[in-house]
Amino acid sequence: MLIGAIIAGIVFGLYYTLVGLGLNLVFGVMRIVNLAHGDFLMLGGIAAWWLFTTLGLHPLASAGLVIVVFVLVGLPLYYLVVPRLLRSRDSEMLSLILFFGLSQMIEAVTTIGLGATERSLPPRLLGVGPIILFGTRLPKAWIFSAVASAIAVLLVYLYLYRTRLGTLTRAVMVSRDEALATGIDVNFVSAVAFGISIALAGVAGVFAPFILGSITPNMGVAINITAFAVIVVGTLGNPLGTLLGGIIYGVSLMLMQTYLSSWANLLPNLLLIAVLLVRPEGILGRRVRRA
Amino acid sequence: MRSKALLLGLLCAVAAQTARAQPPAPAEIKIGALYASSGPYASISMPVSAGFRLWVDQTNANGGAEVKAFGKKIPLKLIAYDDQSSTATAATLYNQLITRDHVDLLIADSGSVLTSVGVPIAKEHKQFLFDVSGTGAAFFTDDNPYVALMADPVSTIWPHYISDFLADDGAKAGIKTVAILFSTNDFTGTQAAALKGFFEKDGKVKVVYYQGVPTTTSNYTVLINNIAAVNPDAVLELGYVGNDIAFLRNLQDSGNQFRFVFSIYAGVEKEEIEKNVGASALTHIYTYVPPSNYEYVPEVGMTQKEFHAAWDKKYPPGSNVTFGANAVYGYMTGLVVERALATAKSLDQMDIHDAVFALSGKLKTLDGTFILRKDGAQIGEVTPLGQLQPEGKDALTLVAVYPPDMANGKAVIGK
């Protein structure tokens, strides 16, 4: 059971890497916490459900469409909200309040529009039956989501380290003021990062029905708590540290489910407290973030 | 002397008149209720609320409810607040309904979690609580006359037929071991503990796995693998709608197969679960047979078919509320309110209590026979054990398989 839990945890953790990746990117670039991140994830799931039920679109095709649409939504949303926020005296704290409000609005509007019941996609779309990995039975959907997550991490890495815009993004991550002083269009760079972040949440949402069973309008808050724990463990502001955070979360969750199942929902909070007490800068720490 | 006698007579007459005088009939009967339009309990709360509203609207369309205390029909006014599945919000709103709105009748939200905060508040304010479907055994005590369970049996009774079936037909078919996986809340936790007790008492089936998981659990893959590792013949998963959807999907995805698999909401909210899980994952799953899938012969109110038709008319597809057991529970609660108002001597809360308890054993509705234990626990309206069996291509029918006197089909136990 121990080996099975660890293997399942690594694969499951890769999904939570995808969940936390965008949240960490936004924090790294803008130093704001997007508490509506989980709600954008939920909207990604709703979009996939709607595209399938109305147009018969396969979720993998929906994922591509969601990326495009969510980036296009993220860009104007950034210009509408974030620059004003960043001009405030305590933008980190105010971002909590503002995005919490946005989260509540998204949940309320979705509930009014679609109702509060669970929605899902047929399991057969990503293949029914297990894949056996080192003797552990895992759903095919987990493998799909893990692969999607790995691709997302790779693309974010390539974006940050192999493109000019990515270099500018890293410059903003190091110091927004210095980047501004050197003539970088900080707002454009940040808007792109914000759009990518929302698109990553949307893609995670497309896989949510297969990983979490179903999607409901109220799922955003719980997703946020977990995603926040993942990025704090992996190091706040270091998008690639999210990979480590996600895997640690996944393995810890599966071990808790195996040996202390009744207490499994305490895990995100326990991880947060443990990291903040022992290594507040996150496991990868500041050195990597500035690299 | 004569003037004293006259004065005495006058006083007696005034006293007698005062004793006979009743408060004037109110313009409306205020009914306070809670519902959850969002959050984890919305999917069980909204159908209850919609079923109850259907009864209120029907009653008002007929001129109101017959109120014996005033000898006339009086319109109903429903004051309903949204607790958003939060127990803290629900506690505030229960208090608000009692102390600010001064409702005549108080209806709890659906399910044990959101009812749990209402029980002590109602008791403290001496307000009778119509507990729709909060089945936690701890709610019902001899020292609290201010609560009664309306629409489904107390949790300790629900799973009786599961253990009876496994000890009877199951044991004959060679089922010897069982795994119990439950969500840690009043509703399913009580059922799990009761089941464990039944199995240990019978001694025919051995419990080899007994684990609780948080109600927020949305992934069961590793738990299912762990259950498979102890190789049980039967698996009983006790959770809410979201838990059951995740469990049944993960079970199918995992490829693990067990001879007997039980899930509460596979039958209780069949439409909802089937929509999210698919027919193939539900085939041969055991579940409770709720009143929405079983035709009791009612003496009061609509039959199941009539109610379903009325529901479809009021809430057509796209209304975002699904027909199921909880819809029946809401309507059924309305019928109890109706009968209680028609027989209560006054709107005093203890008179309401007496009227509700007087219905015990006499009220037969589309939900079965309403029977209350003296502490308010519902012990009638017992749900038979059922199984989802294939009916044509990609369709399932819910068949009652136990007890034999309620069965309308034969159980298929896996090899």
Higher-pLDDT residue of B395, B394 = B395
- Residue A203 CA to residue A64 CA, distance in Å, equals 8
Instruction: Answer whether B192 touches A (CB < 8 Å).
Output: no
Which residues are B156's β-sheet partners? none
Segment among A187-196, A197-206, B34-43, B256-265 with least mean pLDDT: B34-43
User: What's the confidence (pLDDT) of residue B5?
Assistant: 59
Q: Do B222 and A254 touch (CB under 8 A)?
A: yes
HSE-up of A82 (CA within 13 Å, CB side)? Answer: 24
What chain A residue is nearest to B318 in terms of C-alpha separation? A114
Token pair in block for residue A19: 């969940």
Q: Which residues of A touch B226 (CB under 8 A)?
A: 1, 4-5, 257-258
Q: Which residues of B touch A257 (CB under 8 A)?
A: 213, 217, 222-223, 226
Token pair in block for residue B261: 């698999």
Q: Which residues of B touch A217 (CB under 8 A)?
A: 38
What chain A residue is nearest to B212 in terms of C-alpha separation? A262
Whose CA is closest to B222, among A209, A258, A17, A246? A258
Query: Mean pLDDT throughout B26-34?
Result: 97
Higher-pLDDT residue of B347, A238 = B347
First to last CA, chain B: 98
Mean pLDDT split into 10-residue runs, chain A, 291 residues? 90 94 91 93 96 95 96 94 86 89 92 85 86 89 92 93 94 90 93 96 95 90 90 82 91 91 84 84 61 38
**Would you list the domain boundaries of chain A?**
2-289
Token pair in block for residue B381: 């309206």
User: What's the confidence (pLDDT) of residue B45?
Assistant: 93
Q: Do A4 and B211 touch (CB under 8 A)?
A: no
Token pair in block for residue A114: 């679609």
Would you mind telling me the total number of residues written for chain B in this entry?
415
For B217, the closest of A218, A258, A264 (CB atoms) is: A264
What chain A residue is nearest to B225 in terms of C-alpha separation? A137
Q: Which of A257, A263, A266 to mutate to probe the B interface, most B CBs <10 Å?
A: A257
Domains of chain B (ranges plus CATH)? Answer: 29-154+294-370 (3.40.50.2300), 160-292+384-402 (3.40.50.2300)
Q: Do A117 and B272 touch (CB under 8 A)?
A: yes
Query: Mean pLDDT throughout B284-302?
Result: 94
Quick: pLDDT tens for A253-283.
999 999 988 888 888 888 888 888 888 777 7
ipTM of the complex: 0.84
* pLDDT surpassing 70 at residue B18: no
Whose CA is closest to B286, among B210, B235, B323, B320? B235
Going from the C-alpha of B69 to that of each of A28, B21, B343, the distances in angstroms are: 68, 12, 8
Instruction: Answer whether A116 touches B (CB < 8 Å).
Output: yes
Q: Do A218 and B223 touch (CB under 8 A)?
A: no
Instruction: Answer whether B257 touches A (CB < 8 Å).
Output: no
Query: Mean pLDDT throughout B113-140?
Result: 95
Going from the C-alpha of B340 to that of each of B22, B337, B346, B353, B372, the distances in angstroms are: 19, 5, 10, 8, 14
Q: Which CATH architecture has domain A2-289?
A: Orthogonal Bundle (1.10)
User: What share of chain B has pLDDT > 70, as a percent?
Assistant: 95
Q: Do B38 and A262 touch (CB under 8 A)?
A: no
Query: Mean pLDDT throughout B237-253?
Result: 94
